[in-house]
Amino acid sequence: MKKIYTLISLLILMMAFTACQEDTPKPDPEPIPPPVETFSGTLPVLYINTEGSRAIDNKEEYLHAEWWLDNLGLDSYESIGSKQKPLGMLIKGRGNYTWTQYDKKPYRIKLDTKERLMGMKKNRHFILLAHADQDRNDFMTNTVGFELSRRIGLAYTPAQEPVEVVLNGQYIGLYFLTEKIRVGKNRVNIEEQANGETDPEAITGGWLLEFDNHAETNQFIFKEGNGEWFGVKYLSPDSLSPQQYDYLYNFILNLDSIIYNSEKTSTEWEKYIDMDTLACFYIVNEIMDNIEAFKNSLFVHKQRGADSKLLFGPVWDFGCSFLRAQNPATYFLYQNVDDIYISHWIEELLKYPRFQQCVIDHWNRFYPSGLDGLEEFINQYVEKIERAAEADAKRWPAAYQGKMLRYRIENNFKPLLRAKVKFLEQQWSNKTN
């Protein structure tokens, strides 16, 4: 009998314990992780897998990687390679501000073999631009700046194509596959100069240079005639003999001195700079209100020959277009800017009446027919990238670009562009200096 009472007592205790458990609030279940954001399916997808899935965490070290391009059945592009038969490449980080300040990174790639990527001319050297810095204008500033360069007739404008990228199995967003600026038949078409060249005639060209105020090893630092410091990088050749060093240093130093000649009727500077390419380069950047155009990422080149001139271009970085708070329809690009955007040379050169007239002449050659259909070009490009931009915004939710793309192009980018063109029309159309 005692055993029965004990068993009943145990059953009562168990029931009480169960009831207590039911009354105790249960913790919320673990949330189901959201699906990994993926590409839109409206653009080709570039797959890149680094060796050992290593992270690309610096700009100095190339990593070995495999890649293939899937056109997703889009008729405009060809697939290259496949998951089963990938091709080889080297990849590393690139950029300055865009590399350090944004989670979405740009990359430089060097293919093992020359390929016709996205319909561009065969080459091994390309850039994957993230355009994370173009947050106010939704991927459009380089696109439109490059289009204007082609329309005005600059000799070479880098080709670019939008593509979505999957890196080591993870979707990393909408990128712009862009030709790297370098010497070549289909790029900057100058006779390449050998590293360490000493021949007096050969060292007169070809030079590919970049004005850039970020400290680099292959760079000269000069004090401009107005007291500002500026850097000039030598990109080709990239290793100099003493003779090359002296030639380039003296060329830039003498040119700066001549530009700051107090006598503005002088034509001496025209022996050093091709005035027509400078005028066209300036007009394109002025339309885009690119306040960094004559400060950083400014490319110039020079053919071989003692009498050859410095040619401005190709155009490159329009990330600082329509950036300033001041109304761009009130100022030229070199006016009323913060100290970090003070331009090199252009403001001084525009004090020369002959160059002023050259700009006016090229503007009137170009405008208005050169802008015909530009807004339709923008509309078509927006339609092309819109869904990919939306996917990119989901992948990088802290970023601004890509959200409400069409609305913001219509209500921000286009009005700013129209206002700047109207301002330039008032300044230059059908006028003589």
* Predicted confidence (pLDDT) per residue in 78-104, tens digit: 999 999 999 999 999 998 888 888 899
Residue 420, C-beta contacts closer than 8 angstroms, at least 6 positions apart: 286, 287, 288, 289, 322, 328, 329
Q: What would the two tokens of residue 132 be?
A: 């994370």
* Predicted confidence (pLDDT) per residue in 237-262, tens digit: 999 999 999 999 999 999 999 999 99
Q: Which residue, among 320, 317, 61, has the nearest Cα to 176 in the 3D structure?
A: 317
* Predicted confidence (pLDDT) per residue in 415-427, tens digit: 999 999 999 999 9
Residue 122, C-beta contacts closer than 8 angstroms, at least 6 positions apart: 114, 115, 116
Residue 5 banded pLDDT, cuts 50, 70, 90: very low
Number of other residues whose CB lies within 10 A of the CB of residue 168: 15
Please give the full DSSP string across 77-126, using - where no structure is assigned.
S--BS-SSS-EEEEEEE--SHHHHS-SS--EEEEEEEEE-GGGPPSEEEE
Query: What local confidence, expressed as pLDDT, does residue 138 receive?
Result: 73
Q: What would the two tokens of residue 327 be?
A: 């109304």
Q: What would the two tokens of residue 34 be?
A: 């959201």
pTM metric for this prediction: 0.89
Report in angstroms the alpha-carbon separations of 169 from 39, 165, 355, 399: 12, 10, 53, 22
Which helix H or strand E contains 47, and what residues bound it? strand 45-50
Query: What local confidence, expressed as pLDDT, does residue 136 receive?
Result: 61
Report whether 64 contacts 86 (CB < 8 A).
no
For residues 139-161, b (16+ Cβ closer than 10 Å) or e, as one string? bbbbbbbbbbbebbebebbbbbb
Residue 203: DSSP 8-state:
G
Residue 10 banded pLDDT, cuts 50, 70, 90: very low
How many Å separate Cα 302 from the centre of its chain? 23
Sheet (strand 229-236) strand order: 219-223, 229-236, 207-211, 298-302, 310-312
Query: What local confidence, expressed as pLDDT, does residue 400 receive?
Result: 63
For residues 139 and 282, which has the higher predicted lDDT (pLDDT)?
Answer: 282
* Predicted confidence (pLDDT) per residue in 305-352, tens digit: 999 999 999 999 998 999 886 777 889 999 988 878 889 999 999 999
Q: Which residue, among 263, 344, 255, has the nearest Cα to 296 in the 3D structure?
A: 344
Query: What local confidence, expressed as pLDDT, does residue 4 receive?
Result: 40
Residue 242 CB-half CA count within 13 A = 0
CA gap 315, 297 in Å, rounded: 8
Residue with structure tokens 């960094």? 292
Number of other residues whose CB lies within 10 A of the CB of residue 133: 21
Q: Is the pLDDT of residue 14 over 80?
A: no
CB-based burial label for 330 (10 Å; 0-12, 13-18, 19+): exposed
